[in-house]
Amino acid sequence: MKLKGIIFDINGTLTDILTDEGYEEIFRAISHFLTYRGVFLHRWEVRDAYSRIMDEQRKAGGEKYPEFDAVSVWREFLTRYLPKPKRGFKASDPAPRFLAEMYRGISRFRLSLYPEVKAVLDGLRPHYKMAVVSDGQSAWAMPELKAVGLDGYFNPVIVSGDFGYRKPDRRLFHAALTGMGLTPEEVIFVGNDMYRDIYGAGRIGMKTVFFSSNQGGKEMAGVSPDYIIYRFDELRQAVDFLKE
């Protein structure tokens, strides 16, 4: 069947990103910010409460590959710790999203495209539908795609935090295929993790390209991609090889 679409992972595939989610300054800064909302917690209390709510949310979903929603975690955090007169804020209140973005911004030390990503995507864009399936949070992924100049390149953008489960859950891949109006046999998946990306996409019938970048799991017993690239610009050759 003729190739009609390409689905990409984001972090470690399109973007070279480095984060440290245990970085002490995250919780120091949030602790100081919260005092302006009437919440007085030490940074380690903020860290422990955040982790506890995140774990509760993951367990409550009952999923095999559980995911959390960062904005919902901070909404629950504020519900529990804001002074009583300020609780029960509206869904439109920007504070939970602001805290999620603040958390990510402080934890992030590097964000850039791998060499040639934009040039390769610009060459593929006129010929193929392009989408994203990524583990993470929309509150982070969408601004980061915009920051590196890739907003508007992908439709749909499927991010695990919006669903409550992570790759390799097949439902994420099917959601992207549905949004593209394509079948697995018409699509290539490009990712940097042998388990979450290559195993996940391959088991529903998509051809797979493994980008052996500086991130992600390199091996999984019994799993082999259809093509391996070591630089992103090699994707052109991979597509030519797999498209018929």
- Domain range for 128: 5-18+111-242
237 in the same domain as 179: yes
Read off the pTM: 0.95
pLDDT attached to residue 1: 64
User: Helix crossing, 95-107 with 138-147: angle to 10°?
Assistant: 60
* CA–CA dist 181, 85 (Å, integer): 48
**Structural domain ending residue among the three candidates 43, 76, 108:** 108
182 in the same domain as 166: yes
207 in the same domain as 238: yes
**Structural domain ending residue among the three candidates 108, 129, 154:** 108
Contact between 7 and 188 (Cβ < 8 Å): yes
195 in the same domain as 94: no
The string over 34-55, giving b where at least 16 C-beta atoms fall within 10 Å of a residue's C-beta and e elsewhere, is: beeeebebebeebbebbeebbe
pLDDT attached to residue 52: 98
202 in the same domain as 116: yes
What string of pLDDT tens digits covers the 244 residues of the chain? 699 999 999 999 999 999 999 999 999 999 999 999 899 999 999 999 999 999 999 999 999 999 999 999 999 999 999 997 665 566 678 999 999 999 999 999 999 999 999 999 999 999 999 999 999 999 999 999 999 999 999 999 999 999 999 999 999 999 999 999 999 999 999 999 999 999 999 999 999 999 999 999 999 999 999 999 999 999 999 999 998 7
Contact between 176 and 191 (Cβ < 8 Å): no
